[in-house]
Structure 1
Amino acid sequence: MDYSTHARIRDGDPSVFRELFAAHAPLVYRHAVRTTGDRSLAEDVVSLTFLEAWRLRHRLRDEGDGPRPWLMGIAVNVLRNTTRAARRHRAALARIPLRDTVPDFADEIVGRLTDTARLAAAQRALGRLRRADREVFTLCVWSGLEYTEAAAALGIPVGTVRSRLSRARTRLRALAQEELERPVPPTPAPPTPVPPSRVGAAGPGGESTEPARRNGQVPGGRTRVARSNEERTR
């Protein structure tokens, strides 16, 4: 095979990197979307993958049918790092006390999209697999890599790819069905706002909810103030 493309990548030829991006960015994006379920995060994964490819271009070796396994291996590592960072971010947010409840309309939208629901169930099922099995499954099944390409991307023997993929398929059939049948918890109703007409009405204990008067205001208005001044001068 002619490895001139590999040599141009190692040399940092900008034109060959443009060709590499045009040819493989859609594959990296689809793989990231299916793995994370987050389109915005998938776009970040694509950018980081090609930045890493540029930084690690000297490590590309003259073997295989092309740069795809090398590039997808970088994408797998980027996904590992971004997934860990996302978990830490979610854990940090969970420690922050909630203040205001904002209604979430996502469930209504997802309920209309069967494909989205199935993808979400598949992602939850994948999350219950061992990471090694999950990576083989997403590369071979969702991203369409050959066994040899997945082996090169992950740095493992082809036989290991086959055994992990078989185990992942068997386990996922049961897990995906469980996730699809799992009931979705109801979304709590947002708090009912107090209408303007209730301002000034009595509160639950009989106390008045009327706003306090500003400093200088006296009940009764000017007449009572005038009488008080007359009485003091008598």
Structure 2
Amino acid sequence: MTDRRPEASLAEPTDVELWDGVCDRVEADFAALFRRYNKAVYNFAFRATASWSVAEDLVQATFATLWRRAREGTVDPLKRDSALPILLAMTRNEVLNTHKMGKRRLRLVEKVEEQPWSDPDNVDEWVEQEASMARVRQVLGRIPEEQRAVIEMVVWSGLDLPECAYALGIPLGTVKSRLARARKKLATTEVGALLGGDA
């Protein structure tokens, strides 16, 4: 494991710099990336599962997977300025794996952080309770999985359309059409107003 690279300036490192550090197994860069994005990943995971405790586990699993892959030398260089699209794609894979295994809790090889989670920010009032989010998930169950993925990344997590396309590994036009179809299908539901108009 490597110590933090020498500080070249007092400016905050970019995501690309932190990601390069993670690829080089720099623990301080991994910790900085975790601090920068753990809440965004947590919010995404909560919205995908409607469970605070499962969301915590998914954050841990996402970052533990990233660090394991860094140690194995299998983390690809960042191709965009932000690491968030890749982190959300990784979290989404963890969500899907959890559902496939039929587990509500994940067993982790490593624990990323010992401190209890603070209340997540950027979560609107309508998702603050698990019961509310469970109802939203039920409504979203009316649309295909690939459309839900676009809603989760663009509408809930604030990725722009090219970032979503990058994260999901699909063409930009496919993102646009899936988002439009999802919004049309859900327009008359109780969550329709939350999905917004054209991105």
**TM-score normalized by structure 1?**
0.59
Contact 1:137–1:168 (8 Å) recurs in 2 = yes
Deviations 1:123-163 (A, max 9, x none): 10112211100011011101111111111111111111111
- Paired with 2:157 and 2:32, the residues of 1 have a C-alpha distance of 20
Quote the residue 2:117 is aligned against: none
Q: How many residues align?
A: 154
Q: 1:124 — aligned with what?
A: 138
Contact 2:18/2:33 (8 A) holds in 1 = no
Corresponding position: 1:30 with 2:30 = no
Q: Which runs of 5+ in 1 are unaligned?
A: 90-112, 179-234
Rounded to whole Å, the distance in 1 between the matches of 2:15 and 2:89 is 22
SS at match of 2:60: helix
| Corresponding residue of 2:92 | 76
Output the amino acid matched with 1:161.
V
Greater RCO (CA < 8 Å, at least 6 residues apart): 2
Q: CA distance change for structure 1 residues 125 and 15 in 2, over 3 Å: closer, same or farther?
A: same
Q: Aligned partners of 2:29 and 2:93: how far apart in 1? A: 23
Q: Within the alignment, does 1:85 sit opposite 2:101 as a pair?
A: yes
Structure 2 stretches lacking a partner, 5+ long: 1-13, 105-124, 193-199
Structure 2 CA distance, aligned partners of 1:71 and 1:2?
12
The code of the aligned residue for 2:23 comes to R
Q: What is the alpha-carbon distance in structure 2 between the residues aligned to residue 130 and residue 2 of structure 1?
A: 32
SS at 2:97 equivalent: helix
Residue 59 of structure 1 is matched in structure 2 by: 75
User: Corresponding residue for 1:159?
Assistant: 173
CA distance in 2, matches of 1:149, 1:60: 16
Could you report, residue by residue, the CA deviation over 1:77-113 in whole angstroms, capped at 9, with x for unpaired residues?
Answer: 1111112233x77xxxxxxxxxxxxxxxxxxxxxxx9
The alpha carbon displacement at 1:4 in A equals 3.2
Shift of the alpha carbon at 1:114?
A: 7.1
TM-score by length of 2: 0.69
- In structure 1, what is the Cα distance between the partners aligned to 2:92 and 2:29? 22
**Separation in structure 2 between the aligned mates of residue 17 and residue 131 of structure 1, nearest angstrom:** 31
Q: Could you list the structure 1 runs, at least 4 aligned residues long, displaced by more than 4 angstroms after superposition.
A: 113-118
The structure having more radius of gyration, on CA atoms, is 1
Report % sequence identity: 35
Q: How far has the Cα of 1:175 moved from its partner?
A: 4.3
Q: Match for residue 150 of structure 1?
A: 164
Q: Which residue of 1 aligns with 2:153?
A: 139
Name the Cα RMSD after superposition: 2.5
Amino acid at match of 2:28: S
Q: 1:159 to 1:36 in 2, by over 3 A?
A: same
